[in-house]
Structure 1
Amino acid sequence: MSTASTAPREDPAAPADLIEVGHVTEAYGVRGGLKIQPYSAQSEALLGTRTWWLRKGKEVRRVEVVNARRHGASVTATWSGVSDRDQAQAWKGWVVLVPRSQFPRLAEGEFYWVDLIGCQLIGKGEHGEERLLGSVSEVSDNGAHAILHVALVVPVAPGQPTQPMMDDRGRQRETLVPFVEAYIRGVDLDARRIDSDWPEGF
């Protein structure tokens, strides 16, 4: 039986800006194809470059992608060194990474989810004044649009010291904000800021 030992070797010089963009779920077909589950509805990072890095535990390997295409909500791909189903199946569970510097440029007004994580959400106070509500900890997809998961802080004016907003069990509270024009007024990635009409009292 063929194994991953025939695949590309470990790469000790992997780029410093690697971003996890998906993982291998299973073999696809009988000729070495693989099915990749992207970590967001955006698969451009997977489709826009022909060099990926695969990681499992502490091992990182570089692969040269022969082809990659969308397949429903997944991406199917083949890469050098994998030519049959047994070899492909040996990659199941490996995480796929791509350098952030190689992500394709998006159209104006579009954003990669990974770039939104860590941004501060600015909402509105009772009298319409700006309030820092929290920071984006995660982005997910509900099938219609992206959802910002915001770790809440006690609302304060932007630039002021913050403290987490806790629930009755001592955990930081979270709110879910639809990433749509009805609530999001603007995104400034350089300032790590998302301006919204999300109310302070939500």
Structure 2
Amino acid sequence: MSAVPNDLVELGRIVSAYGVRGWVKVQPHAAGGDTLRAVKQWWLKAPEPNSKKVGVFSSAVPFAVDESRLHSGTVVALFDGFNDRDQAERLKAHTVWVSRASFPATDTEEYYWVDLIGCMLYGELNDQPALLGRVAGVLDNGAHAVLDVECGTLTPEGDFKVALTAQGKGIRVMVPFVEAHVHTVDIKRQRLESNWPVDF
């Protein structure tokens, strides 16, 4: 068996079998459908039935993808060696993972959401660049991506410290990931620069 890559990214979940010839139907996460169709090796993780923790899965197992295509907002795929519905049914609820190294190259000014998570987002304070926070997630509002940012500061040691409300809850802001607001993206340095006001 192939060694499990250490850069796996979860891109979807198998929701059912599709047809009677061994195809599976995958509900992709956000913009994961294009990547799933482009990559020919997926890694599947089965839910752990006896685990008391939600979202706990088994180790990843590789599956070679013979064919895949879009179907009504989902991705349907046929794995190598699959030829009947029973094989596909056994994979229901498995999560689908792909090595980040296998992602297709992006065009200029295009970014994978997974690469934005963990980046530091700088905004403006008194017309000067200032750290707003760290990207914790990326959402899709139908028109464009939105950065879910946990506000905070950097300690002298370079560690990120989350900003808290008076009640002890983390402060978060939603920043539209559009050029009008986020004007500079440096994935290698994990730094995003924007005109968003820093006022937490």
Please report the TM-score for the alignment, with normalisation by the length of structure 1.
0.85
**Match of 2:91, as an amino acid?**
W
* 1:147 partner amino acid: V
- 1:90-146 Cα offsets, whole Å, 9 max, x none, are 111111111111100011000000000000010001x21001010000111111111
Query: What is aligned with 1:182?
Result: 180
Q: Cα distance, 1:89 vs. partner?
A: 1.6
| Alignment correspondent of 2:12 | 22
Asked if the contact 1:44/1:103 (under 8 Å) is kept, the reply is no
In structure 1, what is the Cα distance between the partners aligned to 2:92 and 2:17? 7
1:47-196 residue pairs with structure 2 within 5 A? 47-56=37-46, 57-125=57-125, 127-153=126-152, 163-196=161-194
How far apart, CA to CA, are the structure 2 residues paired with 1:168 and 1:27?
A: 49
Q: What is the deviation of 1:28?
A: 1.5
Unmatched segments (≥5 aa) in structure 2: 47-56
The TM-score, its normalising length taken from structure 2, stands at: 0.86
Matched residue SS, 1:98: strand
Would you say how many aligned residue pairs link Structure 1 and Structure 2? 190
For each residue in 1:64-89, what CA deviation from the matched residue of structure 2 results, as whole angstroms up to 9, or x when unmatched?
10111122332111112322222212
Q: What's the offset of the Cα at 1:162?
A: 5.4
Partners of 2:91 and 2:129 lie apart in 1 by: 48
Structure 1 CA distance for aligned equivalents of residues 189 and 74 of structure 2: 33
Q: Are the equivalent residues in 1 in contact too, given 2:12–2:32 (CA < 8 A)?
A: no
Distance in 2 of aligned mates of 1:34 and 1:161 = 43
Distance in 2, matches of 1:145 and 1:88, equals 34
Q: Hey, what's the Cα distance between the residues in 1 that align with 2:98 and 2:159?
A: 35
Report the counterpart of residue 34 of structure 1 in structure 2: 24
Identity among equivalent positions (%) equals 40
Cα distance in structure 2, aligned partners of 1:29 and 1:167: 52
Quick one: distance in 2 between partners of 1:72 and 1:132? 41
Q: Report the RMSD for the aligned CA atoms in angstroms.
A: 2.2
8 Å contact from structure 1 (residues 12, 60) kept in 2: no
| Segment drifting more, 75-84 vs 98-107 | 75-84
Following TM superposition, the consecutive aligned residue runs of length 4 or more in structure 1 with deviations greater than 6 angstroms are none
